[in-house]
Every structure is written in C-alpha cells, then in structure tokens.
Amino acid sequence: MSARPLNLIVILLAVVISSVGVVYSKHKARKLFVEWTALGNERDNMDIEWGQLQLEQSTLSTHGKVERAAREQLGMVGLSADNMVIVKP
C-alpha cells in the first residue's frame, strides 16, 4: 500500500470526526440556549409573583387592616383612659 491512499484515509477520518464534533457541539449549544431561555422565562415569572406578593403584603399590613383583624379575630378593643393602668417600676 502506498502512502497516498493511507494519507487520504487519515484525512477523511479526521474530517468525519471533526464533522461529528461540530454537529455535537451545535446540538449541545442549542440545548443550552433553550434551557437558558426557559430559565429566563421562569425568572420573569418569579419576578412578577414577587411583585404581587409585595403588593399583597403592603395591603395586608396597612393600619386599618391590622386594626380590623385585631378587633374581629382577636376580640381586642381600643384603649380608653378608663381602661388604662399605669405601672410604675
């Protein structure tokens, strides 16, 4: 066997191996891009939910809501001068 066909086989084998490597790396890059996009969408949804939770927290912690909950759920009443007891140390 002469050197020329052997060189041709080696070059052909190198081209095939590099082609498979390119296809694999492109496939992997596309999968990672899809995953990255999905994670970005998930982050955006979580940001929206976080904003909604902050808004809900701010409305639930207003003075009127807290006072109403204290009266209705805990049976608390407002403090008057008649009910006030001053304790001195």
- Label residue 41 exposed, middle or buried (CB < 10 Å: 0-12, 13-18, 19+): exposed
pLDDT tens string, the chain, 89 residues long: the values are 567 889 999 999 999 999 999 999 999 999 999 999 999 999 999 999 999 999 999 988 888 888 888 889 988 888 888 888 888 88
Query: What's the rounded Cα separation, in Å, for the pair 48 and 42?
Result: 10
Q: What is the pLDDT of residue 62?
A: 86
Q: What does pTM read for this prediction?
A: 0.58
What tokens does 46 get?
């979580």
CA–CA separation, 64 vs 70, rounded Å? 10
Domain boundaries, the chain: 3-74
